[in-house]
Amino acid sequence: MQKRNLTKDKIIQESAQLAEKIGIENLSLKKVAEHLHISSPSLYNHIKDLNDLKIGLSLLLMKHLGERIGAATIGRSAGEAIMAMAQAYYSFAKENPELYKTILWMPYLNKEILERGKHLSQMVNLNFQAYGLNHEQTTHKARELRSMMHGFISLEHAGYFKNDVAVSESYERMIKDFINQLGKRSKTQQ
């Protein structure tokens, strides 16, 4: 890559691609510089340190995941929106397993990450409006759903679920059960 075309965004994009090849835990500034065919000092003109790179990768994750969820849920509500969101979340994590791992960095990095994270949470929370939940109930249900999705994906990435039953079907059943419970709860509150 020629130096004059190098930007922080390009470095972050290339770092995400490199992470998918070598594993996020093996990503270093030195390896990124080598991947870009530049010297480490040239990289430091755009990236301050490894933490700055991690922030960039986390922001990239939130951007792409938010776009995927937004596109999947537009025009949908209630259970249909929750299922579409969960499937978009799952497919994104399957297609980008190493970038997905940066989701665990988010609470610890910086204010911009926290702000974008709130926006992503609001997108998730909107899917619960049809159930008539108050703010506290929505928060609990959204946490349950995110924990289920992330837990399932993490276990699958770790190599669990190695038998003849389709993993994606298990995931879909888990989300359907969650949606059914939401529907039952909503009916009992009316």
pLDDT score of 114: 81
What secondary structure letter does DSSP report for 102? G
Domain spans of the chain, in order of start: 1-47, 65-189
The architecture in CATH of the region 65-189 reads Orthogonal Bundle (1.10)
| Structure confidence at residue 181 (pLDDT) | 92
Please give the Cα distance from 28 to 35 (Å, whole number).
10
Residue 30 has pLDDT above 70, yes or no: yes
pLDDT digits (tens, 9 = 90+) for 123-164: 888 888 889 899 999 999 999 999 999 999 999 999 999 888
pTM for the full predicted model: 0.86
Integer CA distances (angstroms), 127 to 99, 139, 162, in order: 25, 12, 32
pLDDT averaged over the chain? 88
Domain 1-47, second-level architecture: Orthogonal Bundle (1.10)
The per-residue pLDDT for 17 is 95
Q: Tell the residue number behind the tokens 């038998």, with chain if given.
A: 163
The dihedral sign for the CA sequence 95, 101, 106, 109:
negative
CA torsion angle 151 154 160 164 (round to 10): 80
Instruction: Kindly report which listed range (27-31, 94-98, 128-132) carries the lowest average pLDDT score.
Output: 128-132
Average pLDDT, integer, range 37-57: 89
